[in-house]
Amino acid sequence: MTMKQKKILISEEVKDLLTIDDNFSEREGFTVYVGKDYAELLSQARDNAPDIIFASPSCNQDDFNFCRLLREDNRISSIPVVTVVDSSKLAELNHVLHDRPADVLFTPINTHLFLASARRILGLPHRSFSRLQTSLLIHFGLNEDNLRTACAFNLSSGGVFIATDHLPKIDETVFIQLDLSTAESPIFCQGIVTWHCLAGSAFSLLH
């Protein structure tokens, strides 16, 4: 039995920050709707009943409180809202925190971080990419100059599963270094911690 796709409603400002191609829905398991402004977001929320909304206060007018209007409509008041803000704009951030969204994402964001937030709030498992079962040494840490050695035993184009006794916190940014015998030099990148295994001895990264 095929699981029904979840629906995400986003503002145009958020869409412009992401990579959403023609295969996004099939690949990621979400149907995406886009609203050009807050009035259209409210209209689409009523018409399409999305499971979650991502919006940016940059399309907000001073006298237009999207979260308040959403909560005042019983048909859509339970839809969680994630706001995407520029952390350098204090007025924007204060406005967002006053509205008490389900989550706040700071620009720049990417599609992986966007999806990780949606799945966490909706209580969905991390959607698997094509994965390679392996066992490789990997180095990770919160500081790129102070890395720990652990075992990476599951790799994909979207992330890596790392076994370690030193678990970073969920949503923390982690630096990773991977040494491959086929590569001329180590591979360096960053990732966001998306979940811990129940045993508390491994975590997963989106990069």
Q: Is the pLDDT of residue 66 over 50?
A: yes
> Could you tell me if 89 and 111 are in contact, meaning their C-beta atoms sit under 8 angstroms apart?
no
Which of 104, 122, 140 is a domain's end point?
Answer: 122
Host domain of residue 156: 131-206
Which of 122, 148, 177 is a domain's end point?
Answer: 122
Which token pair is 7? 């629906």
pLDDT confidence of residue 113: 80
Per the model's pLDDT, the better-predicted residue between 161 and 2 turns out to be 161
Bridge partner list, 49:
none
- Do 116 and 152 fall within a single domain? no
pLDDT confidence of residue 58: 57
CATH number at residue 37: 3.40.50.2300
- Distance CA(71)–CA(82), nearest Å, equals 14
| Number of domains composing the chain | 2
Q: Is residue 1 part of a domain?
A: no
Which of 122, 145, 168 is a domain's end point?
Answer: 122
Mean pLDDT for all residues in the chain? 78
- Do 30 and 59 fall within a single domain? yes
Q: Is the pLDDT of residue 157 over 60?
A: no
The confidence band for 53, taking pLDDT boundaries of 50, 70 and 90, is very high
- Do 60 and 26 fall within a single domain? yes
Q: Is residue 23 part of a domain?
A: yes
Q: Is residue 108 part of a domain?
A: yes
Per the model's pLDDT, the better-predicted residue between 24 and 202 turns out to be 24
CATH number at residue 187: 2.40.10.220
Give the 3-state secondary structure of residue 151: strand
